[in-house]
Structure 1
Amino acid sequence: MEYRYLGNSGLKVSILSLGSWITFDQTSDIVKTALELGINHFDVAESHAGGQAEIDLGLALRSQKGLRRSDFVISTKVFWGGKGANDRGLSRKHVFEGTVACLQRLQLDYVDVLYAQRPDPDTPMEEVVRAFNWCIDKGMALYWGTSEWPAHMIVEAMSVASRLGLIAPITESPQYNMLNRDRVEKEYLQLYQKFKLGLCTWSPLASGLLTGKYNDGVIPPYTRLAIQDHPVINRLRAGFFSDEGRRKVEKIKTMCVSVRDAKSIGSSGM
């Protein structure tokens, strides 16, 4: 397994991480296998399965014999914590209370990276930066990052942190795959050199679309999109059957044909 420094920090993470957007069976065995293969980075969020993903991951890690806290890196995210007036967003109140709840579910004293899961245009940036730094100062997190933030807001957070002498975000967590490339390859381009911004990308297979298993326009059983009564999956499934979803499938079919043709040419020695 290859390990890389995360952004402008001394924290080393495996180039592959194990996420948990929805929960899955045999979590302990999957975590055990990941650790054996050298994966040291595990990613969750307060919104993943309503917090159950954090509970399952925490239990799975505690079940691993001889596992030390220094052996793994945990990142979690706060933004969507519930339906109450202050249960979502990046106010200092929710960042603090959301992080406390995350740690309780994970049964950990701290997380390595605490993410602002989405930008919050309603909370002043100085409050956001101070809130995440407060969690770091209290030992609840070691670093912080952003997820799906536009470049100009990341620059603003960096500027506020510099002006106040506080810790800036070290990483961004955007969606990145063959269907979603512009943000990582264009919008953030200036941030890599200017701030040494790190990336922890998600959805490399576009929720399974890029595997080709949905190319026939139907949803096979036992796939992610076949899950019922899950609000996010319901939205993805509706998107799959939309005009945009059909265009994506056609694009993937074209890519698959191109790959097969390239392999055929290579095997023929041409």
Structure 2
Amino acid sequence: MVAYRYLGNSGFKISEITLGNWVTHGSQVGDDAAIATVHAALDAGITTFDTADAYANGAAETVLGKALEGQRRESLEIFTKVYFPTGPKGPNDTGLSRKHIMDSINGSLKRLGTDYVDLYQAHRFDYETPLEETFQAFADVVRQGKALYIGVSEWTAEQLRDGHALAKQLGIQLISNQPQYSMLWRVIEGKVVPASEELGISQIVWSPMAQGVLSGKYLPGQPVPEGSRATDEKSGATFIKRFLADDTLEAVQRLTPIADEAGLSMPQLAIAWVLQNPNIAAALVGASRPEQLADTVKASGVTLDADTLSAIDEALGDAVFSDAENTYEVSPKQRVA
């Protein structure tokens, strides 16, 4: 079964492997398969589920809500996010203004079929809205009982400090950040993680398998597999491009004997690696078929020894992205229309 970890400096526990439905539910995968995958996650001990109002323009939340019907609500941890355009995508259907946050939380709760979410997250930083306005709205959402905790996604160290200070002033808890993180993409280690450790903020990391590249299925000098994420612009093809250079793919292939020596599959090694970082509360995984989770969940509770960690670093070498400046390039300087 999947182990649990505390989220930030709180008494709230989540499953360290969390099911996300970014590019699957409501778009890439049919509803029946999506619901079966959620049920498989529950059977495997995953009780934490992450979505966003912008995923398939609300359809992903609706599918997740259907999949969780009949489950004991108190035994689940349901996360969603706000920022990106939703609905008809009008001028106030995006960003972190008070209006958009208040409209969005109500829409998310209706689609999810629940009275509250456990964690409500700012999907990106909004440079066009005063931070005080955003956090006052979040505080009101919490006081209305519509969310228990507040989190963010892909915020810089400085943004985390400013947000944490406002949250504390308003009497609410900012306990998480949701950045990209994997063996290949380590940009949060330089500034974001140290700041988060100081503030009592955990990371819920997405793409722990570097968009599937760390599975080893993408081979140097070979066309990308048909039907893979790299061939589908709706399934994260933009994000995977940075990892498809031949020298990166060659480095990934050097991980295979390391995984074999550890008695792990390549996906298990990738997920176990991110969970070795004590600031990581959970690795977000996706699945288009129920059987994919049977392999993934076995990474929970795995401890990689120092020799294995050193071997991974040596194998990947210069293929690793570690420049902390990349954390300043994620949130758009203007709202996405």
TM-superposed deviation, 1:85:
0.5
Q: 1:194 aligns with which of 195, 198, 201?
A: 198
TM-score by length of 2: 0.70
Largest Rg, 1 or 2? 1
SS of residue matched to 2:142: helix
- CA contact under 8 A between 1:157 and 1:168: conserved in structure 2? no
Structure 1 residues 218, 130: CA separation in 2 closer, same or farther (over 3 Å shift)? same
Q: Using the alignment, how far apart are the partners of 1:159 and 1:111 within structure 2?
A: 23
Across the aligned residues of Structure 1 and Structure 2, the Cα RMSD in angstroms comes to 2.1
Unaligned residue ranges in structure 1 (runs of 5+) = 265-270
Other-structure match for 1:7: 8
Residues 68 and 222 of structure 1, relative CA distance in 2, 3 Å threshold: same
Query: Does the 8 Å contact 1:77/1:114 carry over to 2?
Result: yes
Matched, 1:212 2:216: yes
> CA shift at 1:259, angstroms?
4.3
TM-score by length of 1: 0.86
The number of residue pairs the alignment matches comes to 252
Given the alignment of the two structures, is residue 225 of structure 1 paired with residue 222 of structure 2, yes or no? no
- For 1:132-166, what per-residue CA distance to the aligned partner results, in whole angstroms no more than 9, with x for missing partners? 1111111111111010000101100112223x342
**Which structure would you say has the larger RCO, counting Cα contacts within 8 Å and 6 or more residues apart?**
2
Deviation at 1:169, TM superposition (A): 1.0
In structure 2, runs of 5+ residues without a counterpart are 262-337
Q: Distance in 1 between matches of 2:62 and 2:255?
A: 43
| 1:129–1:168 Cα contact (<8 Å) kept | no
DSSP-derived class of the 2:141 partner: helix
Distance in 2 of aligned mates of 1:144 and 1:72: 17
What pairs with 1:1-270 in structure 2 (closer than 5 Å)?
Answer: 1-22=2-23, 23=25, 24-25=29-30, 26-62=33-69, 64=70, 67-82=71-86, 83-162=89-168, 164-183=169-188, 185-216=189-220, 217-227=222-232, 230=234, 233=236, 235-236=238-239, 240=241, 244-247=242-245, 249-257=246-254, 259-260=256-257
CA contact (8 A) 2:178 2:203 kept: yes
